[in-house]
Structure 1
Amino acid sequence: NYIKRDDMSGDNVTISDALHVDLCGKHILSFLTAKDALTFATTSKENKDTACLGIFEPVKLHDGIVSWGDSFGSGGNQHRWKEIHVPIAIPTHSVQFSCKWKDQGWGNRKGRLYITGYKDCEDLDSPFKYEDVVCSTDCDAEHDWRPLRLQFLVEEGKRYFVWYKVGGGGGHELFLRNAVVHSLIYDNYKGYLVRQQRALVAKGAYGDAPLFPLLLRAVALYAQCSFADDGESMINKSIIDALEDLGLSTSNKNAMDALVVLASSMSNAVRDEEPGNNDGDYMTYDSY
């Protein structure tokens, strides 16, 4: 649990001390899986505060059921479906893609799913390459509905996409339903990133209205600048009331800083994605 300092003092340094040197311990925790990172955070209150981990409400990739068939003899090829939007303004540890899936219900099983990551996304029509895969299903889709979870660590600057393969030979189909994305993020705003995001999800703010995040960011920036040195807000009460009507916290500068970051991230997301309900267990702080 201890490491030695490089200087001559001989003092012991705990792992938590090392994490404090790095912003939220992001560099060290980036080597851990989501489960291991959360396990570390649950070992003590100090580690929880040091790790700054938070779980965003899930965002829906597709509403209802999506299906693909083996058309034009291309079922054996991989096809790009949708982008998994990682909030670029928010340091993200890992992401989980969850859904239920199945094939045509008879015959040979050939359906597969993949998630790829790219740093250079100028040519989004480039062919599928296995070296770009960050995670994939380890077996073919079953004949009946089964839960599926794919997790991957996020690398800064990369964009991530879901690909599918139906399977060739004729008659093959692949079905997905309740496809959602969960993000494990570093919340350096005393938990307000998660609280504010939860309120925005509840109000449907992640819908297809691109003007909303721009307006929200403008209001949040104004409110953010209104806090005096003593922590008291000088903002007009009507703006406070409007934000609180959305279920957002306006109690302190951390809350407003978190809201600015969220609004900035939302304005960069694709507008056809909406928040969804959790389709299964991901990671919880139940043991806290």
Structure 2
Amino acid sequence: MTSSIPRYAVIGNPVKHSRSPWIHARFAEQTGIALEYTRLEAPLDGFAQSVEHFIAQGGRGLNVTVPFKEQAYALAQDRLSARARQAQAVNTLIVRDDEIHGCNTDGVGLVADIAQSGFGLAGKRLLIIGAGGAAKGIIGPLLLAGCQAIHIINRTQSRAETLCAQFTDTAAPGQQLSAGGMSDAGTGWDAVINASASSLQGVPPELPAGCYAPGALAYDLMYSAQATPFLEQAARQGAAHCVDGLGMLVGQAAESFLLWHGVRPDVAPVLAELRQAIRQQG
């Protein structure tokens, strides 16, 4: 027997650390929408089956985290948003009329958080470190925000080049997209975004002196109670603004909430409460 309350979940492996249930519970309280939101850890070889079972039990939507964003893209391949098609990765599944639709809200959450920090992206030169799933979801919205140039670097240069080619048709006239290895970082960037796993590994990426232009932004997609290794390095190298990815996490969740319920929640109080809770735990 399925519950009459709409069911949602975050699906991944591992997923027990996810803060999504807490975030969506706060959004539900804020908007007065009744829902049930849980964590769903799928076997590495059983993503599609786990999604099908969840829907059969009354599931209406899923946030998708590592390592399943590409599998979610394949699952919803006939019903994808423009952002999901660009990214070739899905972080939000929506069930409508027994059909699975896919979207990617990561980049929208990032751009919104950067705007909230007071940094303008239009006309800026960006360096992106990493060419995996995290980078896939942000490049399209960053281009749409009007960045002048985006340079992608990765330990395996061919992956950066492949990702760059994926978005060539997305760039507007005058926008520059390029790629290289870690030794091709260059200098004088208006913003440097760390989309690699370096902060999880506890070691910052190797970046040259002069990487940051005056007034530059350093943004790490990861977050923690203390500054990440990347942000510590950025501060030493002269970045004027150092921001972690907690605001992006809450922002992309708000976009998912909008897709599911037709209401965009207020991110600011939820982010402030979550930030305080993380500091107390840390």
Question: Structure 1-normalised TM-score?
Answer: 0.27
Largest Rg, 1 or 2: 1
More strand by share: 1
More helix by share: 2
